[in-house]
């Protein structure tokens, strides 16, 4: 998948880009099934809400064939390479389920401040590719973005209990009206690309509708970590270059179910 000039410009202007219908329904169903199976396990890589419901599963591409294939899929790798302008490595992989009725909020934040301060990533030459496993609406916890906020660069935020949420004064400075915020809604199978410095967050999910999203964080090969402090399942220590595979998920799913 190659981005058009218009799509590339939209990413540059806004800090994110939503591309609809990238993955087929069969692929989405397979990814959902794998996600559901992962959350049945109790491992250090799987974090849970206070009531025991899953919140995030990290690093499952390292032990799951279908998720590993997803990280290599050209429909993710090629547009990210196009934007970053260099070959990539995988910095992080995670599944955020935002489960029905229980999914908690993620306050306003930038990702790169954590990658830089806690993982030793030199520059914001990294970004997220998010794959919607369910239809995502404003009502079930869609990601919200502050338009163009990536142009501010990194905004320092203190580490409070392992999180670097933006201080309220910075949020007030960035968001003056509802027009400053865009909500990334889309159908299952859509891909959301967003810059490491773009300010984003999401509300809780009080609906009966699940909102499962897979995230692959890619970084430029020359931008490898210098002093990571978080566990390897969160900030990966392998900086091997990614070689894109055409429709890797489709092939892995066929092999997986054969």
Structure confidence by residue, pLDDT tens digits, 40-56: 888 888 988 777 777 88
The string of pLDDT tens digits covering residues 81-121 is 999 999 999 999 999 888 888 888 899 999 999 999 999 99
> What's the order of all strands across the beta sheet hosting 143-146?
106-109, 200-202, 143-146, 181-183
User: What SS3 class is residue 161?
Assistant: coil
- Rg of the chain over Cα atoms, rounded to whole angstroms, equals 17
* In the chain, alpha helices (H): 5-14, 25-38, 65-72, 74-84, 112-117, 168-174, 248-257
Phi, psi (rounded to 5 degrees) for 149: -70, -15
What is the C-alpha separation between 53 and 103, in angstroms, rounded?
Answer: 8
* Top-confidence residue, 2 or 149: 149
* Residue 254, phi then psi, degrees to nearest 5: -65, -40
pLDDT at 220 over 70: yes
* Domains in the chain with CATH codes: 5-257 (2.60.120.620)
Stretch 71-75: mean pLDDT: 97
**For residue 258, what pLDDT is reported?**
46
3 state DSSP class of 94: strand
Q: Please name the residues in contact with 41: beta carbons below 8 A apart, sequence gap of 6 or more.
A: none
Residue with tokens 């599963």: 57
CA dihedral 154, 156, 157, 159 (to 10 degrees): 100
Rounded to whole angstroms, the Cα distance separating 199 from 99 reads: 23
Half-sphere exposure of 202 (CA within 13 A, CB side): 21
Distance CA 73, CA 206 (A): 33
Q: The pTM is what?
A: 0.93
pLDDT band at residue 255, thresholds of 50, 70 and 90? low
């Amino acid at each position: 998948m190659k981005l058009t000039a218009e799509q590339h410009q939209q990413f540059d202007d806004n800090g994110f880009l939503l591309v609809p219908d990238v993955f087929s329904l069969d692929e989405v169903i397979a990814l959902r099934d794998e996600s559901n199976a992962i959350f049945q396990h109790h491992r250090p890589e799987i974090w849970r809400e206070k009531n025991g419901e899953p919140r995030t599963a990290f690093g499952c591409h390292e032990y799951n064939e279908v998720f590993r294939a997803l990280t290599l899929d050209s429909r993710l790798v090629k547009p990210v390479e196009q934007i970053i302008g260099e070959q990539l490595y995988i910095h992080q992989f995670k599944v955020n389920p935002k489960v029905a009725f229980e999914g908690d909020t993620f306050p306003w934040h930038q990702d790169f401040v954590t990658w830089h301060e806690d993982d030793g990533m030199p520059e914001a030459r990294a970004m997220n590719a998010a794959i919607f496993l369910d239809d995502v609406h404003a009502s079930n916890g869609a990601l919200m973005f502050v338009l163009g906020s990536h142009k501010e660069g990194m905004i320092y935020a203190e580490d409070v209990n392992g999180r670097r949420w933006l201080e309220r004064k910075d949020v007030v400075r960035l968001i003056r009206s509802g027009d400053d915020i865009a909500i990334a809604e889309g159908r299952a199978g859509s891909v959301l690309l967003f810059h490491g410095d773009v300010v984003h967050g999401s509300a809780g999910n009080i609906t009966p509708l699940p909102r499962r999203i897979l995230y692959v964080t890619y970084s430029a090969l020359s931008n490898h970590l210098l002093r990571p402090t978080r566990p390897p399942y969160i900030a990966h220590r392998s900086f091997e270059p990614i070689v894109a595979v055409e429709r890797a998920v489709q092939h892995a799913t066929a092999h997986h179910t054969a």
